[in-house]
Structure 1
């Protein structure tokens, strides 16, 4: 691990402060701001390093992409509401007289169906199922959990996603892997060993079906919703603007669920999946841009004035802003963590006692710790895969063995753990946004379930390490 620099224990302090303050104050923006400010001071670069960090972290193609993506998603959801599409979809579902259990299972299936984008999935499931789940007295925390657990955990299991391309690309040049095709083959085989993602997705179905009873903070949230009719706790602050929850349909409009809802979703799926197959890169942002423009044209044809369409688009942008602010700060603290060598420090403290038997287990724990601390799964993949995969190939004699597959999947599953439940994670933030749930309430209720999945996964990796 030569060349891996870090600032020692100091490097983990900003992440610890951010998480601790978030739980204590229930204010994510404040917590992230203070953590970043203290972290900048710890680097010894002075106060001016704070605005510099913001500029370097946010002035990137990566952040610009997610910023535009979230804006177009916000516009699309606002259009759905102004056309009455979401309300129409809700009425169709209400006519089916689904039970509370079936509503949760429907949300679970919908989340897995939108596998191509871990960003759109939680927003789509949350916004479309929210009214239905509210009527069924399902807590917003539960809806956010379902939406969150069927986004990143599903995306990392499907070979035709950006996740698969990114992870398989990281394997190129390691051991016997010489091409992207060989990397993808290893990723596909390793899917069966991605225990965390598999268990996390299955648990949602088991909890939704009532096969496994609720426990921990989620049990209290569900009891509150059922007995008191409060889908949000008293004093909760939903992570979404009222523009995306209270926008009424345009007066007198005749809603067409197909043209106003299903057709735009179909456009998103076709462009995202189609570009992935043809260009090897899913053009998700472009897909939502196209769907927004097409739905805007449909709205005009239906008789909605151009001015109203533009006002609705602006409301969509405004409604998604709370999530974008937190995402911006999360990106900044992630940039600070890279600068301080947080991940390098976590990895360095294991190198003296790592053995082949413990490799998958330790790799999973390290990846999970890094991803939870930084809120970045892809950042974790980029850091841990180039270290863990060569070790696995070295131990296996450059052969693609179960040890190699388990180690690759341990990196993928560990990275998803943080993306799934860290208060700093973008998809966790978007799940809170889609369900209109209090962000910290969502994190608190979900963590016990995520830790349960992580516990089972860690045990399985430990077993594999000693069996194979």
Structure 2
């Protein structure tokens, strides 16, 4: 099936079924598996279509990369816990006599600081702040929200990330954009127009400060944490194995905050940013591998036995298996949605709305629906950029105007909305993993805030669209 064909209404069945079942059953693995099975049966591939789908999807370089990244991250987090690094970091922060609000603001700032990778950011913020936020009775759902809403929304605003390179690459050849330099210039000029990303990041800080009041499931979760002392609801299934959450510091280990925490973090950041500058590709997986090797050597020099180091590493890998299983099924469902033409169907039934005045707003809405339904922002970019940006150039007579910037930003913002709040999204899974939150609880508590921000962004795009048409 090529990129322009689809199965009609049936093409949205698997993704829709997965989302509905996830909220009903609160079991993401079951929901994704059922959706994949129903999808292959709908395509007429029979019962064997399901294992064949898994083999084809998981035997790819992209999944191997996320698998290794998860395993190395699990190892680093396990080493942090075995050396007491996270406890040392918690103790260092506590000496600053921070309040409950300030502790959450630290997590918010940390999420914005680690802008180069939407994979590392939610895991880093969640795993390093979890002990501290637990102590201040901040619900795991809110910690996951803080980590999630400062990952992809921040990454898409920075011109020195893989997100920027990918989006710029898609723009080459559209209208007067002839090379990578011109494409990157358009991306940079579009940053102020990425309303959803800016509002999403700002909203987190305003919610933490209490300027925007809590509402919906998040309010209930925070009340439970503060009044009952439960950072997780009864019966919650944290998306992090006990092998990782229950690792105790090695007795009498001569560890330090600098060697066991700060240096590994600096290694990850320097390798990721350095490789991006030199190779135009941030080697995040390799960065975590380097940090894991460094930590292992340091632990041995600090007197921790080699067998204990290897045992800790294995425990860390086991601890991230729940996330890996969900990611494997999510990748399979995304591939199935692509094969069934889900995105093409959504675009086809909505393309009639793309009038000049409505272009930014409708582009944002369609991108958001596609991203939420498929759980992938980059896939949404690849679909929507070639559809919406040429239309914008047609309206401007191939001139690069604010309408072009707004359209590019609308695609980016819409993709981010779906990516960081869809239960099928890898970054949402990683946020739940880092915060050790029940995944569906995280999604349910975050969606009302993300949706409210999306509605405001949509209204602003509508106003801006009519303003530009009026000027034209």
Q: Same fold (TM over 0.5)?
A: yes
How many Å separate the matches in 2 of 1:256 and 1:428?
A: 32
Tell me the matched-pair count: 467
Aligned: 1:246 with 2:246: yes
Report the Cα offset of residue 354 of structure 1.
2.1
Change (3 A) 1:258 1:32: same
Matched, 1:337 2:337: yes
2:110 is aligned with 1:113: no
Superposed structure 1 runs of 4+ greater than 6 Å apart: none
Deviation at 1:3, TM superposition (A): 6.4
**Conserved? CA contact 2:3–2:341, under 8 Å:** no
Q: Secondary structure at the match of 1:420?
A: helix
Partner residue in 2 for 1:53: 53
Shift of 1:99: 0.5
Kept after mapping to 2: 8 A contact 1:156/1:164: yes
Report the alpha carbon displacement of residue 254 of structure 1 after superposing the two structures with TM. 2.2
Whether contact under 8 Å (2:156, 2:164) holds in the other structure is yes
In 2, the alpha carbon distance for the partners of 1:421 and 1:238 equals: 17
Distance in 1 of aligned mates of 2:23 and 2:351: 32
Equivalent residue, structure 1, for 2:413? 413
Question: What SS does structure 2 have at the residue aligned with 1:355?
Answer: coil
The question of whether the paired residues in 2 share the 8 Å contact of 1:159 and 1:187 is answered with yes
Confirm or deny that 1:327 pairs with 2:327: yes
**Are residue 151 (structure 1) and residue 151 (structure 2) matched?**
yes
Residue in structure 2 matched with residue 210 of structure 1 by the alignment: 210
In 2, Cα distance between equivalents of 1:346 and 1:454: 19
- Structure 2 match to 1:201: 201
Match of residue 317 from structure 2: 317
Task: Determine helix, strand or coil for the equivalent of 1:351.
Answer: helix
Deviations 1:86-117 (A, max 9, x none): 01101111122210000110000001111111
Q: Which range is displaced more, 44-53 or 333-342?
A: 44-53
Structure 1: runs of 5 or more not aligned: none
Asked if the contact 2:75–2:292 (Cα under 8 Å) also holds between the matched residues in 1, the reply is yes
**How far apart, CA to CA, are the structure 2 residues paired with 1:354 and 1:150?**
30
TM-score when scaled to structure 2? 0.98
User: Partners of 2:14 and 2:71 in 1: how far apart?
Assistant: 29
Measure how far apart 1:134 and its partner are: 0.7
In 2, distance between residues paired with 1:420 and 1:3? 25
Q: TM-score, normalised by structure 1?
A: 0.99
Matched ranges for 1:374-393 at <5 A: 374-393=374-393
Asked if 1:67 corresponds to 2:67, the answer is yes
Q: 1:88, 1:255 within 8 Å by CA — same for their partners in 2?
A: no
SS at match of 2:160: coil
1:3 to 1:147, Cα distance in 2 relative to 1, 3 A: closer
Counterpart of 2:25 in structure 1 is 25
Matches of 1:424 and 1:267 in 2, distance apart?
30
* C-alpha displacement of 1:352: 2.8
Cα pair 2:254 2:303 within 8 Å, conserved: no
The answer to whether the 8 A contact 1:112-1:154 is kept is yes
1:348 maps onto 2:352 in alignment: no
Offset at residue 180 of structure 1 (A): 1.1
CA contact (8 A) 2:154 2:197 kept: yes
1:101 maps to: 101
Q: Deviations over 1:349-377 (max 9, x none)?
A: 12234211111111101100000001001
